[in-house]
Amino acid sequence: MIDIPETLRSKLDQLDGQVADLERDLSDPDIVSDHVRVRDLSIKKAALDPVVAGWRRVRAIETELPELREAASGDDAELAELARDEIPALESEAATLIEEVKKRLVTADDRKVGSVIMEIRAGAGGDEAGLWARDLMQVYDKYAASKGWKTELMDLSEDGGMGGVRSAIVNVQGEGVWSELAFEAGVHSVKRVPVTEAQGRVHTSTCTVAVLPEPEEVDVKIDWSGDVEEHITTAQGPGGQNVNKVATAVHLVHKPTGVEVRMQETKSQAQNREKARRLLATRVAEIERQKADAERAENRRSQIGGGERSEKIRVYRYQDGIVADQRLTEKFTLREVLEGKLGPIFEALIEQETARRLAEL
């Protein structure tokens, strides 16, 4: 047997079984006819396939090595020499595979999440903060398009005067959305001359971003009739005035947790209800995850509710033309980031996080 910790071996065997289950489900005619279910299962399988393929090869090597060692000590001199030559190569391949499998293993759970909800809110800076929130939304739109991800605007509150955004809720779906966009949670600070500044002075404005994985129905159970209060109102515009005469806005309150959601983006009450329920389920699921995982709670507690977070994660410096992520030493080109080229930032952050998780194995 190759020297592998038993806990790691058990985890890899468990993932092997999960892939087998996914393969079975994806060949089930009832599931194949549901394209949404197929998409979700395919994303999970794509996240696990490289890990399990490497692990299956390691186990195959474990089966081959005893036979080769027996042949190497046998009476057939030619066969023994061939076996002795092959053993080091297989041992080296196994060692390399184990390291690769470990790296993929610590990010596999992240890559299984194929849908996230991003909440973007203007912070300090008045009108300029709203314009910055709008600009940041456009950055994420461009990056999602480059990755082939699907985006859905769930709710938008615009800043009436300058065309900025007070708050926005966006659903992003696709392979790898959580493993990358989770890094965006926090405060994004911009240093630039606002369009409203007559004397050319540089101002600092902020925008907060919260990123939450959207749960599947099996992840969270909500008694919609017993635990949730629903209020139907007319949509509200800036300043609180009614923007239409038909009651289509949906306000949900989850009584056990106190979580509240308001949705008025569409003119359809049914569509607003569906979006509000998805957002409510996401926030309630996050609370449940916090209860179950103390470390996760510490990392994400400040994202829940108003989307406020004191930790500044990134500064966008227009005069210098650079973007400085507070978690990295490397600087990035502002122009490329504003074009939606976030890949280099995510690659560096994933590498850093992978190293940290490997050290904890």
**300 pLDDT band (50/70/90 cuts)?**
very low
What pLDDT does 325 receive? 96
* Cα–Cα distance measured from residue 54 to residue 64, given in angstroms and rounded to the nearest whole number: 15
Range 50-77 average pLDDT: 90
| Average pLDDT of the chain to the nearest whole number | 86
Q: What is the largest CA-CA distance in the chain?
A: 93
**253 pLDDT band (50/70/90 cuts)?**
very high
Q: Identify residue 311 by its one-letter amino acid code.
A: E
What lies within 8 Å, CB to CB, of 292 at 6+ separation is none
Q: Is the pLDDT of residue 196 over 80?
A: no
What pLDDT does 359 receive? 77
**23 pLDDT band (50/70/90 cuts)?**
very high
Chain length of the chain: 361
What pLDDT does 299 receive? 44
For 80, half-sphere exposure in the C-beta direction (CA atoms, 13 angstrom radius) is 7
The DSSP line for 180-215 is: HHGGG-EEEEEEE--TT-SS---EEEEEEEEEEEPP
What pLDDT does 303 receive? 43
10 Å CB burial of residue 89 (0-12, 13-18, 19+) is exposed
Q: Identify residue 297 by its one-letter amino acid code.
A: A
**Cβ(236)–Cβ(243) under 8 Å?**
yes
Range 97-114 average pLDDT: 87
User: 326 versus 4: which is more confidently predicted?
Assistant: 326
Range 68-95 average pLDDT: 89
In the beta sheet, which residues pair with residue 118? 170, 211
pTM attached to this predicted model: 0.72
Distance of CA 325 to CAs 47, 59, 187, 211, 303, Å?
Answer: 27, 41, 11, 17, 19
